[in-house]
């Protein structure tokens, strides 16, 4: 990233810090208190203080954790250090999911690769059970060497995927123009590690090298600044000091965020479903022709 991009990044970061002052953070920072294990508890290691947690994947199983609460709008930040070395065929996911058959879902999926080749970060949005909204980027750093912060901002106006506060993707609420948007179903926050060798690396051509198992992804500090679902959607849809994510300043990208967003799309985007005419036989999803911010 050049000096100008670093400057924009710092401005974006300070904007993020300003949100903290308005926040009503509902997480404790302790994985034992905020999350439960959905399967394979023997594939999870948690630090004594509950502040870090490792997800382990081997031939026997992967694993998954999910938040004890469900949420309708907010911002979700997770520090993750991905699988080092040969991670081909593996998938590490950080996502929101409603769980119903007509589920809504907002996904970060980290697709492993052979040693020396970059991870691919895939994002996707499910609305009312339908997805087909994949985008992929190559990261501008090695995500296995240190923790990096991955964030989902979800509000009445837009979904923003961020990496170290840099917006890499938006999905706007264009429901008034016929595009579907997740705004009714509350969702859990989940993290998982699993076998995706039939598609994740080189379209499934590169398989998992089990001699490199176990594969370990480590979760660090996290923050959930969101509206806890209590059964009444109206409560989560209002604008208030605590619900800063629904206020006007979060309804679109700022000028600095737009500059960074364009930088990511120009230099790091490798796939966008909105550019795949062959896949959709020139009948593109309606949101592809609508503004990104």
Residues annotated as catalytic are 105, 109
Distance of alpha carbon 226 from alpha carbon 154, whole angstroms = 9
68 Cβ contact list (under 8 Å, min separation 6): 33, 34, 35, 36
What are the φ/ψ torsions at residue 19 (nearest 5 degrees)? -65, -35
How far, in Å, CA of 11 to CA of 8, rounded?
A: 5
Do 162 and 61 meet the contact criterion of CB atoms below 8 Å apart? no
The three-state secondary structure class of 286 is helix
For the chain, report the end-to-end CA distance as a whole number of angstroms: 23
| CB proximity list for 7: less than 8 A, separation 6 or greater | none
Which phi and psi angles does 237 have, rounded to 5°? -95, -10
Cα–Cα distance for residue pair 218/263, rounded to 1 Å: 28
Residue linked to tokens 């960074």: 260
Total residue length of the chain: 293
Nearest to 83 by CA among 142, 151, 161: 142
CA 158 to chain centre: 14
Helices (H), the chain: 3-22, 31-34, 233-237, 255-267, 277-280
């Amino acid at each position: 990233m050049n000096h100008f991009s670093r400057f924009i990044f710092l401005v974006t970061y300070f904007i993020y810090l300003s949100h903290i002052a308005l926040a009503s953070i509902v997480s404790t920072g302790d994985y034992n208190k905020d999350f439960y294990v959905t399967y394979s508890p023997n594939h999870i290691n948690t630090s004594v203080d509950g502040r870090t947690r490792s997800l382990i994947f081997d031939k026997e199983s992967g694993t998954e954790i999910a938040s004890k609460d469900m949420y309708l709008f907010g911002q979700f930040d997770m520090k993750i250090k991905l699988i080092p070395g040969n991670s081909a065929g593996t998938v590490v996911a950080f996502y929101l999911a409603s769980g119903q058959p007509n589920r809504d879902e907002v996904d970060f999926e980290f697709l492993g690769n052979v040693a020396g080749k970059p991870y691919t970060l895939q994002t996707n949005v499910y609305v009312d059970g339908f997805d087909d909204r994949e985008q992929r980027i190559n990261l501008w750093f090695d995500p296995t060497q240190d923790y990096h912060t991955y964030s989902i901002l979800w509000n009445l106006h837009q979904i923003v995927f961020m990496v170290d506060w840099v917006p890499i993707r938006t999905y706007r609420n264009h429901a008034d123009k016929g595009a579907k948007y997740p705004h009714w179903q509350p969702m859990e926050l989940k993290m998982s590690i699993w076998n995706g060798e039939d598609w994740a690396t080189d379209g499934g051509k590169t398989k998992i090298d089990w001699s490199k198992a176990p594969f370990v992804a480590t979760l660090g500090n996290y923050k959930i600044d969101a509206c806890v679902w209590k059964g009444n959607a109206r409560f989560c849809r209002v604008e208030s000091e605590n619900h800063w994510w629904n206020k006007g300043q979060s309804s679109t990208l700022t000028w600095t965020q737009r500059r960074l967003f364009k930088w990511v799309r120009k230099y790091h985007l490798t796939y966008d479903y909105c550019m795949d005419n062959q896949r959709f036989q020139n009948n593109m999803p309606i949101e592809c022709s609508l503004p990104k911010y």
